[in-house]
Structures are given as structure tokens and as C-alpha cells.
Structure 1
Amino acid sequence: MGQVTIRVGGYSHPVACQDGQEEHLQRMASEVDRRVGALRAMGMQFGEARMLLLAALQLADETSDLREELEALKAGRPVAATAERTAADPRLAEWLNRLAERIEGIAAALEAP
């Protein structure tokens, strides 16, 4: 079992993970830290727990939107917002597909006994 110390919002947290997942965990922590930093930059001055909650809610909202888009794509329904964005940036479609695959992998891992 691997262990890394991540730094989010100026605080260090030791976290255990599966061997080989340390870099992935660091990238996820960096994203949370980026969001906490953005909240602070907007002038929000809450304690660590509140900032982490707000960052988690942002991530959950984004994940929910992506899951809805993924389900629409799987069902063959057009996703207008995605179509408009991919027309502006063709790399976005590729990125969304990779992200959808990662989300499915994470969901499968969470559902596994």
C-alpha cells in the first residue's frame, strides 16, 4: 500500500493509496488545491473544512454534468453544449472521451466488491 503526503490549501495530509497510484493521487490533489486557491482568490475566507467542502461540491457538480453528457452520448442523444464547444475546439471532444473513460473506470472500481 502506497502512501503520499498531499498538500491542499496550505495543509499537508498523509493519504494511503494503491501502489502505483501515487502520481494520480498527487494530480487529483493538485486539482483540489487549484480550486481551493480559486475560491480564496475570490475573497472567500473560510476554514479548511469549509474550503474543501466547496471545492468538493464544485468537482461533484462538474462530474454530474459530465455524467449526464456521457449518458446522453451513450444513448445517442445530441448534447448541444458539447457540440457547440467541440466545434470551437476539436481537441475538446478527444479530451471529453478520455475523461469519460476515466470516470467509467473509477465508477467500476468503486462498484467492485
Structure 2
Amino acid sequence: MGQVTVRVGGYSHPVSCEDGQEAHLVALAAEVDRRVSSVRTMGGSYGESRLLLLASLLLADEVHDLKVELAQARAGMLPPAAPTDPRLAERLARVAERIEGIATDLGKG
């Protein structure tokens, strides 16, 4: 089992992952960190838990939008001009599942 330490919001977090997924996990943590930074620019003084919650909500909102788009793509409801790649829907579903799993893991820590 792999182990990495990621930095989010200025704090270090040790996280376990499947072997070979370390770089992917670091990239995901960097995305969460970007969201935390975005929340900070909105103003207000938040603790680490609140920052992570708000960043998670931003990511969850994006995942929701992707799921809606995925459902529309599967139902053939995309605008005719939009190019569709049958593998794209599957990739988006896998990405959404990974994000949800990581958000759950972060919530346990």
C-alpha cells in the first residue's frame, strides 16, 4: 500500500493509497488545495475543517454537474454540435467515483 503526505490549505495530511496511485493522489490533493485557496480569497476567517468543507462542496458541485452532463450524454440529450466520445462518459463516471471516495476518506480523518 502506498503512502503519501499531501498539503492542503497549508496543512500536511498523510494518506494511504493503492501502490502506483501516489502521483494521482498528489494531483487530486493539489486540486483540493486550489479550491481551499479559492475559498480563502472569498474572505472570512475559517478553520481547517470549514475550509475543507467548503472546498469539498465546490468539488461536489462540479461532480454533480458532470453527473448531470453524463446522464444527458447517455440519454442522447447533448446538443447536436457537441462531439461525443463514448469513452468520455465512462472516464467521467470513474473520476466522479474517485473524487467521492477521496472526499469520504478526508471526512474520516
TM-score (norm 2): 0.76
Deviations 1:66-97 (A, max 9, x none): 100111011101359xx6xx6xxx8xx77xx7
Give ranges in structure 2 of 5+ residues lacking alignment: 102-109
Higher relative CO (Cα under 8 Å, sequence separation at least 6) belongs to 2
Q: Which runs of 5+ in 1 are unaligned?
A: none
Identical counterparts, % of pairs:
56
**What residue in structure 2 maps to residue 25 of structure 1?**
25
The structure where helix makes up a greater share of residues is: 1
Runs of 4+ displaced beyond 4 Å: none
Determine the structure 2 residue equivalent to 1:48: 48
- TM-score when normalising by structure 1: 0.74
The alignment yields a C-alpha RMSD, in angstroms, of 2.5
User: d(CA) in 2 for partners of 1:60 and 1:75?
Assistant: 22
Deviation at 1:38, TM superposition (A): 1.0
Q: What's the counterpart of residue 36 of structure 1?
A: 36
> In structure 2, what is the Cα distance between the partners aligned to 1:54 and 1:104?
23
